[in-house]
Amino acid sequence: MDLDHRHLIYRPRRLRRNTNIRGLVRENHVTPNDLVMPVFITAGKNKKHKIPSMPGIYQWSLDKVGHHIADLMNAGITRVILFGIPSEKDATGSDAIDDDKGIIQQSIRFLRKHFPELYIITDICMCEYTDHGHCGIIHENDVHNDTTLTYLQKQVVSHARAGVDMVAPSGMMDGMVDAIRMALDENDFEQIPIMSYAVKYASAYYGPFREAAESAPQFGDRQAYQMDPANVREALKEAELDIAEGADILMVKPALAYLDVIARVREMTSLPIACYNVSGEYSMIKAAAAKGWIDGTKVMLETLTAMKRAGADIILTYFALEAAKYL
């Protein structure tokens, strides 16, 4: 054989021949340490409510959620993000800032007592607690940004008093990271990190979540404060602002249709990057798998790997418990 010709034959398939060699050269790995499980806690007792649009996901009352948390921890999932469904809602979401009776405050204290090794993150927003379903305080039929910031400050301090490990503001209010950092520091909670939903799009992928959290807006939509799905330069601007305001971790939400955004944000900062594998992404895979159209397990793992490959260090996902069994 002509040596010059022979040297032009490249054979990348040599490194794909079997499971051992593929594992040896694999560039990205998803582990249970990358995953955070969202948990919905509802007021009342003896509740384990199915969420029809999210098979396998439930609303839990505090007296029932311990079984779920134990399953998570046994599978190696030791980090959760809590979402609360209060017994009553009002215009200012007063349950969100109630030190004693707030559903999330009660949940933090319960979990801290019974699962001391669990790392507890809380979603910081008003939409789950307001009767209008918007992410802040309404003034003249719009969410008033700066008034909302004062409520977010009260919310994070209340969660901190209850014993939270990390807070995750999700409302896309301008200046929210700065306001929250200031409130935490002034109340001697400077050790609590902020995982900011820095880049959160006004996405149609959130539909099932709004059923789970009972947080659908009662009028209008959230396009005036969540981002336009068409924009990526704006995402970088939002990320830059949150870095300047003191965010410890940046999040991109949703994840699957925004892998390019995750990659762009990853390139611009050395901060840890999180992404939220949102309810619609979860439900589409579950629905297609139930129809027998796809292998649900393989698509789940491929999807999570894609998020890691795009640059996410942390993945918030409803698949966390299920995926941990295969990782």
CA distances from 239 to 196, 245, 248, 262 (A): 9, 10, 11, 11
64, 89, 253, 286: the active-site residue = 253
Helix runs in the chain, H state only:
3-6, 19-25, 62-74, 103-114, 145-162, 176-186, 207-212, 233-245, 259-268, 279-290, 296-310, 320-324
Residue 107: predicted pLDDT: 97
89, 200, 286, 308: the active-site residue = 200
pLDDT tens, the chain, 327 aa long: 555 556 667 889 999 999 999 999 999 999 999 999 999 999 999 999 999 999 999 999 999 999 999 999 999 999 999 999 988 888 777 788 889 999 999 999 999 999 999 999 999 988 888 877 667 777 777 777 888 899 999 999 999 999 999 999 998 889 999 999 999 999 999 999 999 999 999 999 998 876 765 555 555 456 677 899 999 999 999 999 999 999 999 999 999 999 999 999 999 999 999 999 999 999 999 999 999 999 999 999 999 999 999 999 999 999 999 999 999
Annotated catalytic, 253?
Answer: yes
Residue 155: predicted pLDDT: 94
Residue 76: predicted pLDDT: 97
* CB atoms closer than 10 angstroms to residue 50: 11
Q: Map out the domains of the chain with their CATH numbers.
A: 39-324 (3.20.20.70)
CA distances from 224 to 123, 221, 227, 228, 235 (A): 20, 8, 8, 9, 15
* Full 3-state SS string of 133-149: CCCCCEECCEECHHHHH
Q: How far apart are CA 32 and CA 21, in angstroms?
A: 23
Helix, strand, coil share (%) of the chain residues, nearest 5: 45, 20, 40
Residue 207: predicted pLDDT: 84
